[in-house]
């Protein structure tokens, strides 16, 4: 077992006291009487096999049978509390003793974004904390609303990480202010970084409509995989936020470069829950800056779309947007979803860009949980031992990080 002494002490106290402060203090006293003073250990204390063995004996004596650190290096939690400080307290209690090194969180836009970010960073002082606002929250197969979800990674997974914020991306979009610090910090060129040891995460202001341009620049700058997620605002499409350094930013993107521990590995899985239908739509006329398709098949976009989905009228066509987006279909299995955002006159505005002349096919939604589990189970069978493998799933406008063995639940 690889675990820090402070983490193990915190886990035993938390499980023994079950949140009761008086029992927690009594447990600490018992530790001292048994030869281990909790106040002498902090997060930087080195592992001592003798002390750890004593703690395991104490845990057994106190009937603490299941230690979280034995099972997982990645932990997902969520809170449905309605007040920011209660949310952070709830999330902290669920991660107590886990020894988090990095915490990524996603929050509904109903909360005070600046206050929530400040409290999260203050609550996890020794961690890298970042995230974004959402259009619905996803965790462990649950679809939530007006909540906060978080995932924590410990040092068995993350060896090191660097966070950079790109500001005013609508005026001057450039990845250099992030990649130059990345290279200085890791003392290595981004062009030569080992793509099996580094992985990146990008969270971007969802109303900026700069996702494609940002990812294109990143792709030009490195061969390291970067997984992109767009911030949402519960489908208002007015103001979205990304989080880092205890602050909430608009018109910005957060770039995080992770260096994976040598004893861990990661796999990037691209999955979605749509199947391609036979209807083909060709984007004859578009406005790429606003992501609007003006004409499909040489007809007003909304009219051609309405006919494809079988809507009675163009007014009813937007009702089909969530279940029948369009997609770029490459080969037999690769579908790149282009979700309609809203109808604008006879035009359709999309969440992703569709280049003029592009041929897309009408899609139909399937069971997202079932399909995701099917893909993950395939990956599990291929890897055999899944411990320590990190998967990133970008689902529509909410980024969910989930560990493979959660599929077994």
What counts of helices (H) and strands (E) characterise the chain?
10, 23
For the chain, the average pLDDT equals: 84
Taking residues 281-287, report their average pLDDT.
97
Write the Ramachandran bin of 251: left for phi over 0, alpha for psi from -120 to 50, otherwise beta: left
pLDDT, position 123: 94
pTM of the model: 0.70
Per-residue pLDDT tens digits for 137-181? 888 767 889 999 999 998 888 999 999 999 999 999 999 999 999
Q: E strand or H helix at 374, and its extent?
A: helix 368-383
Q: Is the pLDDT of residue 385 over 80?
A: no
pLDDT, position 406: 29
Per-residue pLDDT tens digits for 334-352? 888 899 999 999 999 998 8
Any idea what the Cα angle at residue 379 is, between residues 374 and 382, rounded to 5°?
Answer: 130
Which of residues 298 and 405 earns the better pLDDT score?
A: 298
pLDDT, position 66: 60
Q: How confident is the model at residue 370 (pLDDT cuts 50, 70, 90)?
A: low
Q: Are 143 and 369 in contact (CB under 8 A)?
A: no
Q: Is the pLDDT of residue 379 over 70?
A: no
Q: Is the pLDDT of residue 392 over 50?
A: no
Taking residues 65-89, report their average pLDDT.
81
Per-residue pLDDT tens digits for 295-330? 999 999 999 999 999 977 999 999 999 899 999 998
Residue listed under structure tokens 């462990």: 140
How many other β-carbons are positioned within 10 Å of the β-carbon of residue 163?
19
Per-residue pLDDT tens digits for 93-127? 999 878 899 999 999 999 999 999 999 999 998 89
pLDDT, position 21: 85
For 359, the token pair is: 């041929």
């Amino acid at each position: 077992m690889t675990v820090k002494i402070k983490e193990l002490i915190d886990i035993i106290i938390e499980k023994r006291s079950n949140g009761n402060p008086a029992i927690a203090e009594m447990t600490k006293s018992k530790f001292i009487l048994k030869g281990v003073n909790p106040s002498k250990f902090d997060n930087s204390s080195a592992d001592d096999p003798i002390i750890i063995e004593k703690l395991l004996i104490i845990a057994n004596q106190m009937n603490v049978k299941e230690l979280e650190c034995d099972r997982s290096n990645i932990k997902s939690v969520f809170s449905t509390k309605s007040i920011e400080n209660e949310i952070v307290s709830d999330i902290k209690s669920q991660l107590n003793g886990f020894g988090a090194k990095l915490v990524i969180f996603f929050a509904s836009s109903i909360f005070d974004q600046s206050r929530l970010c400040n409290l999260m960073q203050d609550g996890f002082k020794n961690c890298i904390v970042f995230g974004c606002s959402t259009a619905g929250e996803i965790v462990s197969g649950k679809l939530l609303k007006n909540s906060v979800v978080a995932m924590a990674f410990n040092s068995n997974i993350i060896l090191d990480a660097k966070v950079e914020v790109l500001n005013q991306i609508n005026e001057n979009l450039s990845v250099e202010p992030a990649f130059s610090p990345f290279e200085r910090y890791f003392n290595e060129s981004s062009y030569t970084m080992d793509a099996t040891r580094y992985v990146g995460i990008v969270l971007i202001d969802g109303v900026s409509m700069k996702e494609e341009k940002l990812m294109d620049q990143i792709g030009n700058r490195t061969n390291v995989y970067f997984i992109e997620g767009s911030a949402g605002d519960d489908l208002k499409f007015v103001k979205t936020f990304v989080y880092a350094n205890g602050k909430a930013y608009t018109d910005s993107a957060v770039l995080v470069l992770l260096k994976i521990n040598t004893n861990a590995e990661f796999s990037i899985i691209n999955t979605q829950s749509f199947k391609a239908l036979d209807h083909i739509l060709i984007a004859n006329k578009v406005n790429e800056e606003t992501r609007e398709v003006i004409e499909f098949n040489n007809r007003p976009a909304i009219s051609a779309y309405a006919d494809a989905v079988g809507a009675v009228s163009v007014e009813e066509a937007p009702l089909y947007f969530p279940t029948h987006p369009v997609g770029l279909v490459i080969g037999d299995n690769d579908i790149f979803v282009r979700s309609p955002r809203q109808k604008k006159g006879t035009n359709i505005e999309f969440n992703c860009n569709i280049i003029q002349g592009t041929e897309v096919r009408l899609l139909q939604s399937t069971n997202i949980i079932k399909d995701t589990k099917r893909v993950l189970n395939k990956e599990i069978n291929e890897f055999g031992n899944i411990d320590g493998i990190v998967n990133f799933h970008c689902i529509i406008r909410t980024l969910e990080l989930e560990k493979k063995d959660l599929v077994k639940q």
